[in-house]
Homo-oligomer: A and B are copies of this chain.
Amino acid sequence: MKKTRITVWNENIHEQQDKEVIEIYPDGMHNVISNFLSQNPDFEVRTATLDQPEHGLTEDILGNTDVLTWWGHKAHEQVKDEVVERVKIRVLEGMGLIVLHSAHYSKIFRALLGTNCSLKWREIGEKERLWNIEPGHPITQGIGEYIEIPRNEMYGERFDIPTPDKLIFISWLEGGEVFRSGCCWERGHGRIFYFSPGHETYPIFYNEQIQKVINNAVSWAKPRVIIPDSCPNAQPIEKVVNIHDASAKI
């Protein structure tokens, strides 16, 4: 079986600048994500970061990526529009996209969903419990009734997204809010999964259940087809008896 080729994209700025983030992710969040995904023998994983030429997302690399994971926060605006457009085209052709935490505000997520993707937020390190409302879905296999995260940034409703094709997780927040924290969409021939955990100041990507969800999501999102966009002029299949006559009355 052909391996699923994954590109783990990370902004990788907090990990250079913020002492508390450096302590948790000394080699960058992307390497932690890449490492746990690499333990899956069906996966082939590379990383890419903002500071690389074309943000590490050249035509060639995207053309050899089945699933792209995306983490960004401080520098959404620094991601070049032409790279965003390139990723968008690839997703619509069939590539999977896993959008993590603060990437709800990434250019690529907003471009694919068409909405603002705004939400409520609060950063006091409160408890979050993600309820698994679809235990039969591929993304929740091996996850129990819920995932508990002792400390996370709060994301709360209203989350300005199109109604998900499938809502997988709903979060309970200690401070009193709720959040649609795991959401699936299909766009073009590609599959998109948004998963809200992953604030940079907590070691969330070391959590085994979080790792399992991302692992499952990659498997779920891998393409079954890659179909470039076209808008073809088509010949009729059946005989058309009407004669073109613009003056015909309707």
Contacts and interface: CB of A to CB of B under 8 A. Distances in A.
Interface of A: 20, 23-24, 88, 92, 94, 105, 111-116, 118-122, 124-127, 129, 131-138, 141, 145, 149-151, 154, 156-160, 162-163, 165-167, 170-178, 180, 185-190, 201-204, 206-207, 223-225, 227, 229-238, 240-250
A114 B187 contact: yes
A202 B136 contact: no
Contacts of A242: 125-127, 150-151, 174
Contacts of A132: 158
Given A118-B230, A160-B188, A174-B238, 14 more contacts: A112-B114, A120-B232, A124-B244, A131-B177, A133-B180, A136-B223, A136-B225, A162-B185, A167-B167, A172-B173, A172-B177, A172-B178, A174-B240, A176-B237
A103 to B, nearest CB: 14
Contact of A204 (B20, B114, B129, B250): B250
Chain A at the B interface: SS class:
loop
A167 B163 contact: yes
A228 to B, nearest CB: 10
A237 B174 CA distance: 9
A171 B178 CA distance: 7
Contacts of A137: 224
Contacts of A243: 125
Contacts of A185: 162
Contact of A160 (B92, B105, B120, B207): B92
A224 B150 contact: no
A131 B157 contact: yes
Contacts of A172: 172-173, 176-178
A116 B188 contact: yes
Contacts of A115: 92, 187-188
A151 B112 contact: no
Contacts of A151: 242, 244-246, 248, 250
A246 B186 contact: no
23 contacts: A20-B246, A88-B114, A92-B160, A113-B114, A116-B188, A120-B232, A129-B176, A129-B237, A131-B156, A133-B159, A135-B227, A136-B225, A151-B244, A151-B245, A170-B180, A174-B236, A174-B240, A174-B241, A175-B236, A176-B237, A177-B237, A202-B246, A202-B250
